[in-house]
Amino acid sequence: MKTIENDPRLPAWLNGVLNRWPLCLDEESVRTVWARCSDNQGLYAPGEESLYMNGVFFVRLMRPFGVFLGVKPVVDGRLYHFGFGWKGNGRFTLTLRRQTFEESERGVLGPNLGHARGWDRGNA
- 111 — pLDDT class (breaks 50, 70, 90): confident
Q: pLDDT averaged over the chain?
A: 87
State the pTM of this model: 0.85
Q: Where are the domains of the chain?
A: 12-106
pLDDT tens digits for 42-90? 999 998 878 888 788 999 999 999 999 999 887 667 889 999 999 999 9
Residue type, 7: D
pLDDT score recorded for residue 9: 87
pLDDT score recorded for residue 119: 66
* Contacts by residues 74-80 (CB-CB < 8 Å, ≥ 24 positions apart): 75/118, 75/119, 76/118, 79/52, 79/54, 79/104, 79/124
- 118 — pLDDT class (breaks 50, 70, 90): low
Kindly tell me if the per-residue pLDDT of 24 is higher than 80. yes
